A and B are shown apart, each in its own frame.
Chain A
């Protein structure tokens, strides 16, 4: 009855599961669980480390560089080689060690390894093993290839801690090639009518995904300072990204007719964007799947492009782990948990401060936001949770909403120097 493409994903990291039976995890439950959930983040007592903690801790394992996962103030960081440059760029002078995908490392009495999550370049899922019992923390992930990030790799485990930002069956993404064609058709049509094309996209991940999707024969690509800075970091670590021009004084719609401009969502509709003269604006986000969200922004064009797994992706990924126990962290958690239980999983909800792809970024107006009380029940299953548009430092750019902490959180907004 269900059309989730089972078996679409091949397990490449098949660790022997203890006891050969799924029930084998039960004895281990008798002692302390391998991972627990605290008010600082996901905690491993046996290894004395946290994963993507949101309060300062001694030792943090970081899945990727988005600001709701990589926060300042920890004593020591461990992250993949591919995510380290962005994390360093964003957090400044930190103690950061790197690890290769698939490399195992002993921490306390557990073994950890990092595996591609397909979310953004360098992003990882983190596998934690103790005496044959395996847990995997997904971080943010998507299973479809985006032409940029290392493709998602399913990791066999007993317990899987998964995001579910887009955990509703109305969210189904088109393949990257189709999205690229859509973007280029739109850009070419605008250019032909003498209009600049401005796309709002997250500065880490989505912006570069647009870059590799763009057909350079249509016109030049201009970037907002926040996008340019992150792109430069990724270029420096060896990613093949097309040439871009930073929008500095004198760079506008006249100097670069028919350009594609990539900017943070908060720059759309601001005075910064008016320099390009006649322009069409679009926003690239999974939320653009909903007509109401697009109309509320008054956008003629939305690109349904997300770096989070869609409904089919979440289901396929979860099945591919072989896990029996699933914890969902952020997104439509209540509904998605019920769905998983219907499918025979043991499922739970974990309250975290991860934000996924924020609908508020789609709204892009930073009203005075109210301090979260971090109550699990309060956010459970809520509609799209707010996000902080990855608080990239706007480095002196004119987009007003940028670079400001959008809500008071321990140092999330002022993460950058």
Chain B
């Protein structure tokens, strides 16, 4: 754990990418191999099942500190991070330990599902053997959500430097369903094992936002398609494997049983990049319909009937077991259409149609109709582009519609977590409904740190009431909120729910009497057809 803590300390002290990569690369050269695998796993979101829940952690930490549980609970939102809070609350350790990251992770894995008394004893013993920074990491490994300020891409780059293996090749090898603790370092980064690779997806190619499309040059070099509002996914059909991966590298095959028939008809050795959508027969349903299915491990028949899944295919990455990613998009697209045209009718897959256009102005007019298509805007891809790894600017662009906006007033404020601890950053907003103010959404991003500080100051001086970490404030601060969509929601007091709400502007010029109304939101809801599906 000491080696891992030293790595974390280096990463935590710098915001420079080159320094982070250098620290990681050094770690990947010198740390014990088992530890390297865990670190790769943790930095690519492969966390073992949580062995201890946060309530247990908090109460055991209070016990070990000789403090009442209420005090630990009060302190947590101020520090903003439970793992850090506990590491600071605990008394100085009585012992030390040379156990490696691998050793600690195996211990945590072995605790899963054991009786509370066994887990309690093990955790208290661990805390007594770890220094404050090590404890913080240990707690983070339990509570999860641990990114160490390093993206998966950065980690892959460092690993490429340390091993000499090409970055794109590594990115592919690190995909899929492997678990740290069950695979060796050489196996993980080494040559392919065909068995283990059967269901492995390719790293997704990602687009960057664009606003000035005219700068993209000759329209003839570009292919346009709708930017669908569903779940980006990769369908893998190889001998011995049929798998649907989400962009977050989550295996979601079983959540979409209605796609299973594809297994019988798609040729083997095929990988397709597509959007998973809830399907209304001719076109997609609003995202709200799909949302009902997300997060469900099994989908009831009623929902399967109301919101059947369908794939709109964008790209063909592998055909007959051959990796097509280096071929030009125009070629891959032609192959994709040919493969899908050979399928019998009625299957839940079709090519995402190309949008024909001759000049950028025409395309702009087409884009303006995206909402009618239940799309978020357009995608622009260079016809000659390969299917690259990750986000590379230049070949793929997303040209989204402008978001909806609304002026609303802050009603409640709550402190943020992590680097926003001690700042009030999470706000609940209201709109007018007659003489009342109705809370309708939360938002917590879009302002600068300086603005958050100023608002924090104001919240502290203007708190009317406290509900745990939440403060009620006078309805005075007005913000312009942007959002991507609206849907009916019986769970909310206002009867509506927004998609991706965020603050775009603090309207210091606007009094609360001039904010928007619930009626205007209802009208928008009706106009967009977003009634309760």
Measured CB to CB, the residues of A under 8 A from B are: 1-3, 168-172, 289-293, 295-296, 298, 300-301, 332, 335, 338-339, 342, 359-360, 363, 365, 367-370, 372-373, 375, 377-379, 381-386
Contact = CB atoms under 8 A, between A and B. Distances in A.
Contacts of A298: 15
B14 A168 contact: no
A335 B71 contact: yes
B66 A170 contact: no
A360 B453 contact: yes
B421 to A, nearest CB: 3
B91 A372 contact: no
A339 B71 contact: yes
Greatest chain B CB density within 10 A among A290, A298, A373 is at A290
A359 B453 CA distance: 10
Interface of B: 12-15, 65-68, 70-71, 74-75, 78-81, 84-85, 88-89, 91, 136, 415, 417-423, 449-451, 453-454, 456-458, 460-463, 466
Contact of B66 (A2, A369, A383): A2
Contact of A291 (B68, B70, B84, B457): B84
B460 A379 contact: yes
6 contacts: A170-B78, A170-B89, A292-B421, A335-B71, A360-B457, A368-B454
Contacts of B463: 377-378, 382
9 tightest CB-CB pairs across the interface, nearest first? A292-B421, A170-B88, A300-B13, A367-B454, A295-B419, A382-B460, A1-B66, A383-B422, A292-B80
B75 A373 contact: no
B78 A379 contact: no
Contacts of B422: 290, 292-293, 359, 383-384
B236 to A, nearest CB: 39
A370 B454 contact: yes
Nearest to B65: A169
A370 B75 contact: no
Contacts of B418: 292, 295
A223 B415 CA distance: 36
Nearest to A384: B422
A383 B78 contact: yes
Nearest to B458: A370
Contact of A372 (B417, B450, B461): B461
A292 B74 contact: no
Contacts of A339: 68, 71
Contacts, number: 108
Contacts of A382: 460, 463
Contacts of A338: 70-71, 74
A378 B450 CA distance: 21
Contacts of B67: 2, 169
Contact of A370 (B65, B450, B457, B466): B457
A27 B451 CA distance: 52
Nearest to B463: A378
Greatest chain B CB density within 10 A among A3, A172, A289, A291 is at A291
A327 B456 CA distance: 26
A383 B71 contact: no
Contacts of B81: 291-292
A170 B76 CA distance: 10
Contact of A293 (B66, B71, B421): B421
A375 B463 CA distance: 9
A339 B456 CA distance: 25
Contact of B460 (A289, A295, A383): A383
A296 B91 CA distance: 27
A289 B422 CA distance: 12
A292 B79 contact: yes
B75 A168 contact: yes
Nearest to A363: B453
A3 B90 CA distance: 11
B85 to A, nearest CB: 6
Contacts of A300: 13-14
B460 A385 contact: yes
Nearest to A373: B461
A301 B66 contact: no
Nearest to B19: A300
Nearest to B451: A367
B48 to A, nearest CB: 24
A2 B417 CA distance: 28
A367 B461 contact: no
A170 B419 contact: no
A369 B457 CA distance: 7
